């Protein structure tokens, strides 16, 4: 027996939150006999506020996890915090609070917000990457990479942000050369740094055959790795009577006879040797100028080509011709060999360079059927493949064979070889910052670089540090941290004071969720077997090439070290869209259009906000947050609440029956629609189906059928179907209608395919493709009868008139199209 009540979100949300936690309803036990499903969202940074973007990611992901769980899976849906990183440090500098204190306070706030969201998080598995029980294993992982030769230290040009006083990965520098975090202009600087050899895995990372990922993400990773096939050809010169070779990488060895100049990157070691005294000053000035630019600036295509002649010459090993050597910043030290052969006729960049500096342009490739022309009159390079011309013994080699022929030739002559080059570069992981995982390395005057023994991990990050605007890690000024003893000889030694890129922390956190409290190991083999890989990963497309590639690299490297036995971390991946501010612009503080979800949770309810975000439009497309539209969901939830409670009041026992076939059909159709929609992340149409069902039931609320068992069953089914999206209201209604267990562990409703079909259907009759009549026809009527009905229909007949019927197209249960022609 229930009494009439109003939908009171605050009351029921708090009640069920407490109840679920007391029951540990969302804990995924390690010993369940059910099949596992690992449903993962990207762990948030603890900024101290769970913003609308988090909601848009997490709420639908949660609905999906809940949906899967109802199909009998042991769903693991963990949450944690990516807690190292710059904002904490900036807060420490600007407000004088400790980074750790600030971070942990933020985590506390976000935990509250995450709970209120009503997602089925398994809090037992929470991880916080800035706490020693987690970063101990991040350090341990670094040591494994080091021991297996995948971590190395070298002097490397680094992107350096003068404002943040830190190095940045290429990926963290914006296209205009600005720092991703603070927007200041990034410069280049050479310092000793640690890198991981992700390039060892370039080839394997190009294999996406074992994962179901969005095509666009696969494409982005493929482009990022940037594999190109070509040849290395060694040009040579003589300096002080010594033969010196300078290799170039080219994808177009067939253009070798078109080489009219040679370019070195300004940082190329040969620059010093090859420059003649009379060009020294000019070259020095240019090199110096290049150093002050970031790689991003240098790569800007907008910029006009610059460069200077070194005075030196090299010999083309194929043609024997001597060409001048220039230096120019459009040649990058980090790609290929840092030197190129200039072929202005057939490469646009070389063409622009040659035009600017008056270097000859020589045509050596001619597309089939094209007439010879004067290269000096060209306005752009001819980059298409073609027959080799002006190429000595190679003249006449057809387009299809040209590249292979020249490659084979240079191999035979021992002056070059076939080569694959990648755009991908090693991953720079050193950060001259305090708030990150320490790098467990000690520098000993006698033994050099010594890894901290594993039994001495973790190297603890000191908690009280002084920040100085020196550009070096504050750790450098912590004598208790810096000064240590050598693990080998026990003599005085110093610690590495750089910390690890936070992308390292997030490259393995999903492994730790499977075994979060293990004090002996980063993870156990049993935990890996039980939970990994991740079945469904949901997060923003902005991580397509950073996090998602680093994580793939980690899994492959750890597999090769023997710590894992699978190849890919995330089997299926889905990218949600972006929520825009009410003005349709990207949300940002400067625009003043940031939406705070808490405000709407307060005004309406958690369920309303969750459902609104899912109803907004397709999940992968995002959309504009329109506060007015929340009204619609709010009304729906209230109307549903009222319908259920009133129905149970009016008909407490539910024993009466009546003509209810139509209701049964509605129930089955709705189950089918919602099930199919949720399976493919179409939350918007799933909710629309539930609204339609609700509207249909409300229409019949005062009719006898409302007292039927079928009507009540349909309402119960609706509670069950809505539960993944609106967990609180459905749980309350589930109990109000007499159930005892949680709706969230009830079995997902099933439907009878036969009952999803109506007894009649509307037959559309077209004449020449235009709708002319609609006829209600009983299901199962034969095709012959239907054709007859259509042709005999008086309205249809009037449109046919005297014309001759050419053809009658019949689409079962849908339409008849009568094709006629006037004589």
Question: Which residues, listed in sequence order, are joined to residue 808 by a DSSP beta bridge?
Answer: 818
Measured from the CB of residue 151, what is the shortest distance to RNA in angstroms? 23
Residue list 507-546, contact with RNA (CB under 7 A): 541-542, 544-545
Q: DSSP state, 422? A: E
Q: CB-wise, 249 or 523, nearer to RNA?
A: 249
Choices 52-60, 344-352, 357-365, 660-668 (CB under 7 A): range interacting with RNA: 344-352
Q: Is 356 in the site for RNA (CB under 7 A)?
A: no
Measured from the CB of residue 206, what is the shortest distance to RNA in angstroms? 14
Measured from the CB of residue 654, what is the shortest distance to RNA in angstroms? 23
Residue list 751-770, contact with RNA (CB under 7 A): 761-762, 764, 766, 768-770
Residue whose pair of structure tokens reads 């920040």 in the numeric block:
467
Residue list 704-743, contact with RNA (CB under 7 A): none
Q: Which of 571, 567, 569, 572 is nearest to 204 (CA)?
A: 567
- Determine the Cα–Cα distance for residues 420 and 399; give it in Å rounded to an integer: 20
Q: CB-wise, 90 or 228, nearer to RNA?
A: 228
Question: With the CA atoms of 622, 626, 631 and 634 taken in that order, what torsion angle do they form, in degrees rounded to the nearest 10?
Answer: 40
Q: CB-wise, 110 or 424, nearer to RNA?
A: 424
Reduced to 3 states (helix: H, G, I; strand: E, B; else coil), residue 188 is strand
Choice from 112, 356, 635, 661 touching RNA (CB under 7 A): 635
Supply φ then ψ for residue 211, to 5 degrees: -130, 150
Q: CB-wise, 655 or 676, nearer to RNA?
A: 676
- Determine the Cα–Cα distance for residues 299 and 305; give it in Å rounded to an integer: 10
Q: Does a cis peptide bond (omega within 30 degrees of 0) precede residue 257?
A: no
Choice from 27, 36, 111, 626 touching RNA (CB under 7 A): 626
Supply φ then ψ for residue 625, to 5 degrees: -80, 115
Q: Is 226 in the site for RNA (CB under 7 A)?
A: yes
Q: Is 223 in the site for RNA (CB under 7 A)?
A: yes
Reduced to 3 states (helix: H, G, I; strand: E, B; else coil), residue 154 is strand
Q: CB-wise, 745 or 805, nearer to RNA?
A: 805
Measured from the CB of residue 491, what is the shortest distance to RNA in angstroms? 44
Q: CB-wise, 435 or 640, nearer to RNA?
A: 640
Take residue 455 and report the two structure tokens written for it. Answer: 């039994």
Q: CB-wise, 484 or 701, nearer to RNA?
A: 701
Measured from the CB of residue 556, what is the shortest distance to RNA in angstroms? 22
Choice from 340, 611, 697, 733 touching RNA (CB under 7 A): 340
Residue whose pair of structure tokens reads 């009219």 in the numeric block:
260
Q: Which helix (H) or strand (E) holds 90?
A: helix 86-95
Q: CB-wise, 481 or 615, nearer to RNA?
A: 615
Q: Is 672 in the site for RNA (CB under 7 A)?
A: no
- Determine the Cα–Cα distance for residues 29 and 745; give it in Å rounded to an integer: 14
Choice from 140, 236, 335, 751 touching RNA (CB under 7 A): 335
553, HSE (Cβ side, Cα atoms, 13 Å): 28
Q: Which helix (H) or strand (E) holds 573?
A: strand 570-575
Residue list 636-655, contact with RNA (CB under 7 A): 636, 638-639
Q: Is 807 in the site for RNA (CB under 7 A)?
A: yes
Q: CB-wise, 48 or 617, nearer to RNA?
A: 617
Q: How many residues bind RNA (CB under 7 A)?
A: 92
Residue list 370-399, contact with RNA (CB under 7 A): none
Residue list 577-616, contact with RNA (CB under 7 A): 586, 615-616
Beta strands of 293-415 (E only): which ranges?
Answer: 308-315, 322-327, 339-342, 365-366, 387-388
Q: DSSP state, 83? A: -
CB atoms within 10 A of CB 644: 26
Q: Is 266 in the site for RNA (CB under 7 A)?
A: no
Reduced to 3 states (helix: H, G, I; strand: E, B; else coil), residue 370 is coil
Q: Is 147 in the site for RNA (CB under 7 A)?
A: no
Measured from the CB of residue 340, what is the shortest distance to RNA in angstroms? 5
Residue list 297-316, contact with RNA (CB under 7 A): 298-301, 303, 305-306
- Determine the Cα–Cα distance for residues 274 and 289; give it in Å rounded to an integer: 19
CA geometry: angle at 443 spanning 441 and 447, to 5°? 115
Measured from the CB of residue 1, what is the shortest distance to RNA in angstroms? 24
Q: CB-wise, 219 or 483, nearer to RNA?
A: 219
Are 546 and 428 within 8 A, CB to CB? no
Query: Binding string to RNA for residues 39 to 78, with x set by CB under 7 A, is what?
Result: ----------------------------------------
- Contacts with 750 (C-beta within 8 Å, 6 or more apart), sequence order: 671
Cα 667 from chain centre: 38
Choice from 65, 258, 336, 440 touching RNA (CB under 7 A): 336
Pairing of β 261-264 and β 322-327: parallel
- Determine the Cα–Cα distance for residues 100 and 302; give it in Å rounded to an integer: 44
Measured from the CB of residue 681, what is the shortest distance to RNA in angstroms? 11
Q: CB-wise, 23 or 631, nearer to RNA?
A: 631
Measured from the CB of residue 169, what is the shortest distance to RNA in angstroms? 11
Choice from 178, 332, 662, 789 touching RNA (CB under 7 A): 332
CA geometry: angle at 147 spanning 434 and 167, to 5°? 30
């Amino acid at each position: 027996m229930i009494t009439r009540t109003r939908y009171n979100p605050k009351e029921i949300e708090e009640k069920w939150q407490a109840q679920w936690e007391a029951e540990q309803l969302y804990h995924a036990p390690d010993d369940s006999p059910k099949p596992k499903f690992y449903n993962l969202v990207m762990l948030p940074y603890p900024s101290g506020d769970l913003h609308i973007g988090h909601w848009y990611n997490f709420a639908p992901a949660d609905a999906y996890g809940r949906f899967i769980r109802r199909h009998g899976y042991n769903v693991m849906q963990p949450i944690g915090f990516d807690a190292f990183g710059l904002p904490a440090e900036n807060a420490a500098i600007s407000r004088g609070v400790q980074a750790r204190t600030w971070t942990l306070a933020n985590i506390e706030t976000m935990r509250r917000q995450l709970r209120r969201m009503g997602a089925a998080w398994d809090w037992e598995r929470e991880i916080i990457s800035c706490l020693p029980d987690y970063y101990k294993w991040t350090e341990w992982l670094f040591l494994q990479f080091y021991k297996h030769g995948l971590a190395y230290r070298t002097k490397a040009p680094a992107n350096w942000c003068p404002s943040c006083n830190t190095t940045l990965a290429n990926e963290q520098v914006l296209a205009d050369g600005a720092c991703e975090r603070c927007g200041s202009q990034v410069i280049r600087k050479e310092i000793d740094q640690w890198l991981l050899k992700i390039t060892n895995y370039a080839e394997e990372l190009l294999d996406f055959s074992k994962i179901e990922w969005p095509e666009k993400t696969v494409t982005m990773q493929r482009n990022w790795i940037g594999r190109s096939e070509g040849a290395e050809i060694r040009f040579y010169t003589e300096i002080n009577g010594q033969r010196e070779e300078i290799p170039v990488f080219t994808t177009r060895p067939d253009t070798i006879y078109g080489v009219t100049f040679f370019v070195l990157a300004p940082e190329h070691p040969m620059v010093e040797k090859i420059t003649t005294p009379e060009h020294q000053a000019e070259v020095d000035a240019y090199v110096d100028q290049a150093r002050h630019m970031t790689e991003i600036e240098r790569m800007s295509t907008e910029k006009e080509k610059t460069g200077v002649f070194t005075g030196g010459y090299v010999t083309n090993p194929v043609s024997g011709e001597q060409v001048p050597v220039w230096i120019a910043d459009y040649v990058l030290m980090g790609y290929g060999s840092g030197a190129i052969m200039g072929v202005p006729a057939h490469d646009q960049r070389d063409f622009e360079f040659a035009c600017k500096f008056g270097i000859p342009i020589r045509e050596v490739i001619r597309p089939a059927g094209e007439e010879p022309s004067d290269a000096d009159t060209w306005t752009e390079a001819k980059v298409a493949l073609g027959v080799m011309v002006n190429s000595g013994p190679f003249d006449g080699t057809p387009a299809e064979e040209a590249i292979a022929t020249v490659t084979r030739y240079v191999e035979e002559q021992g002056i070059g070889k076939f080569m694959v080059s990648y755009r991908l570069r090693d991953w720079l992981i050193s950060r001259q910052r305090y708030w990150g995982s320490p790098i467990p390395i000690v520098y000993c005057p006698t033994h050099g670089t010594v890894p901290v023994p594993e039994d001495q991990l973790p190297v603890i990050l000191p908690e009280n540090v002084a920040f100085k605007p020196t550009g070096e890690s504050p750790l450098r000024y912590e004598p208790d941290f810096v000064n240590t003893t050598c693990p080998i000889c026990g003599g005085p030694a110093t610690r590495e004071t750089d910390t690890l890129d936070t992308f390292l922390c997030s490259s393995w956190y999903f492994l730790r969720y499977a075994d979060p409290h293990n004090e002996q190991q980063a993870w156990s083999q049993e935990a890996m077997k039980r939970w990994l890989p991740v079945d469904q990963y949901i997060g923003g497309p902005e991580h397509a090439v950073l996090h998602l590639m680093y994580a793939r690299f980690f899994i492959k490297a750890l597999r090769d070290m023997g710590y894992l036995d699978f190849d890919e971390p995330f089997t299926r991946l889905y990218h949600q869209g972006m929520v825009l501010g009410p003005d349709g612009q990207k949300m940002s503080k400067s625009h003043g259009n940031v939406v705070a979800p808490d405000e709407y949770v307060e005004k309406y309810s958690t369920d309303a906000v969750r459902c609104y975000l899912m109803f907004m439009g397709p999940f992968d497309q995002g959309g504009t947050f329109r506060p007015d539209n929340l009204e619609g969901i709010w009304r729906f939830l209230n109307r549903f609440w009222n319908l259920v409670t009133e129905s149970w009041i009016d008909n407490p026992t539910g024993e009466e029956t009546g003509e209810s076939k139509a209701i049964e059909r509605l129930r089955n159709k709705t189950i089918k629609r919602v099930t199919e929609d949720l399976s493919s992340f179409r939350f918007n149409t799933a909710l629309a189906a539930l609204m339609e069902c609700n509207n249909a039931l409300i229409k019949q609320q005062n009719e006898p059928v409302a007292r039927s068992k079928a009507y009540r069953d349909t309402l119960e089914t609706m509670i069950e179907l809505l539960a993944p999206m609106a967990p609180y209201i459905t749980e309350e209604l589930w109990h109000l209608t007499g159930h005892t267990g949680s709706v969230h562990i009830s079995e997902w409703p099933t439907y009878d395919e036969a009952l999803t079909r109506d007894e009649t259907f509307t037959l559309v009759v077209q004449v020449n493709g235009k709708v002319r009549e609609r006829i209600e026809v009983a299901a199962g009527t034969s095709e012959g009868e239907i054709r007859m009905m259509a042709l005999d229909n008086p309205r249809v007949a009037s449109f046919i008139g005297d014309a001759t019927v050419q053809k009658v197209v019949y689409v079962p249960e849908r339409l008849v199209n009568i094709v006629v022609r006037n004589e």
